[in-house]
Amino acid sequence: MKLQRQLGFGVLCLALMTGAAFAQDKAAKQAEVVKSTSAALERFYKAKPDLKAAVAKAPGYGIFTTYGVSFLIGGSGGTGLVHDSKAKKNTYMNVGGASAGIQLGASQTDLLVVFKTPGAMSKFIDKGWEMSGSATASAGASGAQAGGGKGTTAMEEADTYTLTKNGLEVGLAAGVSKFWKDKDLN
């Protein structure tokens, strides 16, 4: 009987420690995403200062950093968040993308989505699709952009901006990106 109580107490302590470690790990990962997205947002403001006013007036914005490679077909992935300016709430998200076309490159890219309506922001968080076609010629290193991309987006109620932080990409491609809530961080 005494052994059963000791085992039960040990299991309870282990469960509490695991739960506390998970909560600390979650908070640390959230802080890491906030730090990296804040840095990305500052890079946008530096490259295009009028974005600061647009973001301040918007009901919310999404900011993501992606890493990708392409050679005829391409793939990318990354993390970020959507910030609801009214509720002062962050929704942590992941992004993955695929593309095909005449393209070649490897890059780290920051993406800023400035929502025009709260409904567009909610739709983005809940559904998360963005389809695009693009013609791109860009290069960047150490936060500098030496080019830019032009594309179309399925989201009619948001403006999107990209910065190539590191890498090189060139080509003409059609692609699709999927944004979804991070189940572990929300």
Q: Residue 167 is which amino acid?
A: G
Among residues 156, 142, 145, which one has the least CA distance to residue 111?
145
Count: domains in the chain: 1
Residues 6+ apart with CB under 8 A from 96: 75, 76, 77, 177, 178
Examine residue 186 and state whether it is found in any structural domain, yes or no: no
For the stretch 17-75, pLDDT in tens is 334 344 579 999 999 999 999 999 999 999 999 999 999 999 999 999 998 887 878 88
pLDDT of 152 higher than 50: no
Examine residue 2 and state whether it is found in any structural domain, yes or no: no
For the stretch 117-135, pLDDT in tens is 999 999 999 988 776 655 5
Examine residue 23 and state whether it is found in any structural domain, yes or no: no
Examine residue 18 and state whether it is found in any structural domain, yes or no: no
For residue 157, what are the domain limits?
A: 46-181
Among residues 83, 47, 78, which one has the least CA distance to residue 64?
78
Q: What is the CATH number of the domain that holds 166?
A: 2.40.128
Question: What value, to the nearest 5°, has the Cα angle with vertex 38 and ends 124 and 18?
Answer: 80
Residue 87: the pLDDT is 96
Examine residue 20 and state whether it is found in any structural domain, yes or no: no
Examine residue 5 and state whether it is found in any structural domain, yes or no: no
